[in-house]
Amino acid sequence: MNKSIKLRLIVMNVIQWAVWGAYLTSMGQYLGSVGLGSKIGIFYAMQGIVSMFMPTLMGIVADKWIPAQKLLGICHGIAGAAMTGAAAYCMTSGAPEFGLLFGLYSVSVAFYMPTIALSNSVAFKILADNGFDTVKDFPPVRVFGTVGFIVSMWFVNFMTNGDGVSFQKTFDQFYVSGILGLIMLVYCFTLPNCPCKADGGQQQTLAQRFGLDAFKLFKNANMAIFFVFSMLLGMALQITNSYATPFIEHFASTSEFADTWAAQNPVALYSISQISETLGILLIPIAMRLFGIKKVMLIAMFAWVIRFGLFGAGDTGSGLWMLILSMIVYGVAFDFFNISGSLYVNENTSGEMRSSAQGLFMMMTNGFGASLGMLVAGWVMNMYTINEGGLMVDKPETGGWPMAWTVFALYALVVAVVFAIMFKYKHTHESNK
């Protein structure tokens, strides 16, 4: 029975993340192909905007009214239906208008983003109810989510439509995501029950549930600096997810690189980033114990500098090794910041404030930071690139893609240097055990 419970949760995680992997890294390619390349930043910014409030709202619903596993399914059903609707609209219109496509997409991500936290809550509850140690047994289950994400990326990269065009370049990626979401709707209703919390016990105010009471942590200078720089670094989080594959694909417009494997399979190449992410997680406990949060955060920041810089210098020919190295660096850049930052918040806040502080950390990074970052990134990309033949190609007079990546690298460098000067933290080996 216990083994079957783990297997069911593994299946849940595979589908959960495959839904997102179907379009997250390839959507920019499709938007560029239908003349919406200038709007890529807005599409990705919406994920951050809804992440500021939808996970909390759905968390309240799960606590009070709808069992978590059923709410998880309902959210996936709505998200999947909206994404399927977006795919159908793109198929019938041929040249989709921004307004309707963005509206359907926004509904989809508004209900998908809460499922990330909900799926974790469901897994924790079911594991605990069946006698498992969540600290020990959850990570091996969760890692299959990343596997699902990667497999979904590979599927849209190598699968082609009736015209022989890869799904990564068509609306078919939305169909894949939408159908998986509808499958998840059905599957969640087969999972063990995760009942709503009883009304007794300590009641939280709405401000507490939204993590707003955690803003009092800004009275502590070091915590204030940490949260501000979390937002500043959070601005880099989605830049490569949104623009990496259009960048890699644009090499297909040149005679020198048109026939290179990477230019034809940008999503498959980019999947190395997700593989690296799974490995980066394993290094965090060691790094935190040896270096402490300040040095680990600085490692993450300089990893972003390297990642952006390698993108600016690389290509799909003789410079392919630079792109591959950039993908490998991603595991350190992303995990050392996101996960280590969360651990720091957990260790430096009191028990009654811990959940709110974590909410604030996520709001500053994946909410404010990522949203603002994508809007700025969209402006930068429109400055240095132009849409030609469905591809985002260089504006020669501005320096094109290399200059755009250089701008992002310099930004990450400035953030790293200022953080090193302003953030005061003395590490001891005992403090991070």
pLDDT in tens, 222-259: 888 888 998 998 888 889 888 999 999 999 998 899 99
What residues does 393 pair with on adjacent strands?
A: 386
Q: Give the sign of the dihedral formed by CA 15, CA 19, CA 21, CA 26.
A: positive
Q: What does pTM read for this prediction?
A: 0.87
Packing angle of the helix pair 68-93, 172-188 (nearest 10 deg): 160
Look at residue 360 in the predicted model and tell me its pLDDT: 76
Average pLDDT estimate for 5-33 = 96
Range with lowest mean pLDDT among 65-74, 149-158, 196-205, 263-272: 196-205
Distance CA 48, CA 44 (A): 7
Task: Kindly give, in sequence order, each residue whose CB lies less than 8 Å from that of residue 29, ignoring residues fewer than 6 positions away.
Answer: 168, 169, 245, 246, 249, 266, 267
Longest dimension (CA), the chain: 69
> What pLDDT band is residue 343 in, cutting at 50, 70 and 90?
confident
Average pLDDT estimate for 158-175 = 95
Range with lowest mean pLDDT among 29-38, 79-88, 128-137, 357-366: 357-366
pLDDT of residue 282 exceeding 60: yes
H-run or E-run covering 300: helix 266-313
Give the tens place of pLDDT for each residue, 183-214. 999 999 999 998 887 655 456 666 666 656 66
Look at residue 431 in the predicted model and tell me its pLDDT: 45
Average pLDDT estimate for 107-115 = 95
Look at residue 287 in the predicted model and tell me its pLDDT: 84
For the chain, which domains are there? 1-192 (1.20.1250.20), 206-433 (1.20.1250.20)
Give the tens place of pLDDT for each residue, 290-330. 888 889 889 999 999 999 999 999 999 999 999 999 999 99
Look at residue 259 in the predicted model and tell me its pLDDT: 92
CB atoms within 10 A of CB 133: 9
Residues 374/237, Cβ–Cβ less than 8 Å: no
Nearest-5° angle of CA 238, CA 241, CA 242? 85
Q: Token pair for residue 386?
A: 């132009």
Look at residue 432 in the predicted model and tell me its pLDDT: 45
> What pLDDT band is residue 63 in, cutting at 50, 70 and 90?
confident
pLDDT of residue 385 exceeding 90: yes
H-run or E-run covering 200: none
Quick one: CA torsion of 73, 61, 119, 31, rounded to 10 degrees?
70
Q: How far is CA 277 from CA 255, 266, 295, in A?
A: 33, 18, 19
H-run or E-run covering 172: helix 172-188
Range with lowest mean pLDDT among 44-53, 129-138, 355-364: 355-364
